[in-house]
Amino acid sequence: MSMLRTIPALLVLVTLVFVSACASDAPETEDQLVERAQGIHERAITADTHDDISVANFTEEKNYTMDLPTQVNLPKMREGGLDVTWLVVYTGQDELTEEGYAAAYDNAVSKFEAIHWLTEEKAPEQIELAYTSDDVRRIVSEGKLVAMIAIENAYPVGLDLDNIRQFQEWGGRYMSLSHNGHSQFADSNTGERDDVWLYDGLSDLGKQAIAEMNKWGIMIDLSHPSKKSNMQSMELSLAPVMASHSGARAMNDVSRNLDDEELMALKAGGGVVQTVAFRSYVDAEKDAAYRSASRAIEEEIAADLGFTMLESRRDFFNMTTEEREAYMEGYSKVQDAAAGRMGELEAKPVNVADFVDHIDYLVELIGIDHVGISSDFDGGGGVEGWNDASETFNVTLELVRRGYSEEEINQMWSGNLLRVLDDVQRIAAEIQAQG
């Protein structure tokens, strides 16, 4: 071939390379960004570490295989691409008496049984209970949804620490030592209201409970105990700890969030904080302004529907689980009816972007290896854009907008938490081997 014939071919090749390079440098369009985020979301194992349940939703007539007016159920998980739901065995705080412990234990057992019924009898072809990180990956690979079990408040353990092993055998994989009120194990963050404490941190029984949780492979959850309880728990624990649904206190100064000292201690121990999409924990001031502005509209509609609005969030938490479920069902109807009028308000609701601001702060402070994601759905959680499991993709989309890589997003959705679970279970096996 002559040189004269070769030159045009080379020019074509150079032109193609140049055009290709220019194309790669072109700004990503909105459609392209969304498409990229969708791919990341589909490939990730997405896990929400805190979803409350009511046993009333685990019957033949009414269960999670149906699109119930709950924030989490199987159809909503499928729609939003949420792979793993941590279903919560929650018991409210009551008197520190044998009668109180017995009633709480029975309540906890009913929720364990409900979860096992769903995953083993009602819909095993749709959702399976996982006990390990390997279980999670296997179940997802089989195209099924994953359930895991959390214990919110150790109160139902009573004074018998053998119940910790029992709860672990039933599938419990993390547990908080207190909730809204001091338990037999630990002071609660709620002690900040009146500066009244029972133990100045952990009780002696609580310290023993830490050892038992380490021994049987249950992650220690920092999301409700007091700061002193948390700091003592981290000092005593032989394994990494986690916070199942907490924000950064530096971003929003409420007692339910973790301050920088707690977060740095959690990092030092190799733990993970699951950032929570709970409006008042994300931005209390913004949430209060919006609630105040929207309250009048909701009360007007509620009156028309014959529904009684609660006066405060505290009233909600003082309800039984069944009462909370009934209230949320009624309140969702009020919200649906009011939605068309909320656009006229100057105040805006706490949204996904506000939520991811907490993630940004936590990543900057303690590093990507120690940050995860949670909602507190059906327990008061949810923000505009992630109001239920069907909107889960919007979280991934916002993370992509912020410049997080696919690897980093995978870490936050499940990788970091599963690593902590692996560490906790490995250390438990070592302790058990020692006799």
Which pTM value belongs to this model?
0.88
> Do both 295 and 153 map to the same domain?
no
CA angle 139, 76, 134 (to 5 degrees): 15
207 within some domain: yes
294 within some domain: yes
Domain C-terminal end among 310, 326, 349: 349
Q: Tokens 């940050």 belong to which residue?
A: 371
> Do both 137 and 231 map to the same domain?
yes
> Do both 278 and 288 map to the same domain?
no
User: By the 8 A CB rule, do 171 and 116 touch?
Assistant: yes
> Do both 338 and 386 map to the same domain?
no
> Do both 334 and 273 map to the same domain?
no
20 within some domain: no
Q: What is the full DSSP assignment across 119-138? A: IIII-TTTEEE-SSHHHHHH
Q: What are the CA-CA distances from residue 253 to residues 87, 246, 411 (Å)? A: 28, 12, 27
Range of the domain at 277: 32-37+45-283+350-433
Distance from C-alpha of 435 to C-alpha of 431, rounded to nearest angstrom: 7
What residue type is 325 in one-letter code?
E
> Do both 83 and 72 map to the same domain?
yes
Q: Tokens representing 25?
A: 């440098």
Q: Which of 179, 350, 348, 176 is nearest to 251 (CA)?
A: 350
Q: Tokens representing 238?
A: 């032989």
What residue type is 149 in one-letter code?
I
117 within some domain: yes
User: By the 8 A CB rule, do 220 and 233 touch?
Assistant: yes
Q: Residues with Cβ < 8 Å from 342, sequence gap 6 or more?
A: 294, 297, 349
5 within some domain: no
Distance from C-alpha of 136 to C-alpha of 245, rounded to nearest angstrom: 20
> Do both 186 and 319 map to the same domain?
no
Q: Residues with Cβ < 8 Å from 32, sequence gap 6 or more?
A: none
User: For the CA atoms of the chain, what is the radius of gyration?
Assistant: 24
Q: Tokens representing 221?
A: 């959850």
> Do both 241 and 293 map to the same domain?
no
Q: What is the pLDDT of residue 17?
A: 43
Number of domains in the chain: 2
> Which residues pair with residue 172 across a beta bridge?
149
User: By the 8 A CB rule, do 370 and 266 touch?
Assistant: yes
361 within some domain: yes
> Do both 148 and 64 map to the same domain?
yes
User: By the 8 A CB rule, do 372 and 417 touch?
Assistant: yes
pLDDT per residue, tens digit, the chain (435 aa), is 444 344 444 444 444 444 444 445 789 999 999 999 999 999 999 999 999 999 999 999 999 999 999 999 999 999 999 999 999 999 999 999 999 999 999 999 999 999 999 999 999 999 999 999 999 999 999 999 999 999 999 999 999 999 999 999 999 999 999 999 999 999 999 999 999 999 999 999 999 999 999 999 999 999 999 999 999 999 999 999 999 999 999 999 999 999 999 999 999 999 999 999 999 999 999 999 998 888 888 888 899 899 999 887 678 878 887 788 788 888 888 888 888 887 778 899 999 999 999 999 999 999 999 999 999 999 999 999 999 999 999 999 999 999 999 999 999 999 999 999 999 999 999 999 998
Q: What share of the chain is helix, strand, coil (3-state, %, to 5)?
A: 55, 15, 30
> Do both 341 and 410 map to the same domain?
no
Q: What is the pLDDT of residue 341?
A: 83
Sign of CA dihedral 399, 381, 104, 155: positive
Q: What CATH number is associated with residue 86?
A: 3.20.20.140
Q: Tokens 């029984």 belong to which residue?
A: 205
Exposed/middle/buried for residue 29 (C-beta within 10 Å: 0-12, 13-18, 19+): exposed
Q: Which of 181, 208, 17, 216 is nearest to 100 (CA)?
A: 181
SS3 track for 241-301: CEECCCCECCCCCCCCCECHHHHHHHHHCCCEEEEECEHHHHCHHHHHHHHHHHHHHHHHH
241 within some domain: yes
Q: Which of 10, 30, 13 is nearest to 21 (CA)?
A: 13
Exposed/middle/buried for residue 263 (C-beta within 10 Å: 0-12, 13-18, 19+): buried
> Do both 148 and 297 map to the same domain?
no
User: By the 8 A CB rule, do 207 and 11 touch?
Assistant: no
What residue type is 146 in one-letter code?
V
> Do both 343 and 241 map to the same domain?
no
Q: Residues, the chain, total? A: 435
392 within some domain: yes
Q: What is the pLDDT of residue 1?
A: 41
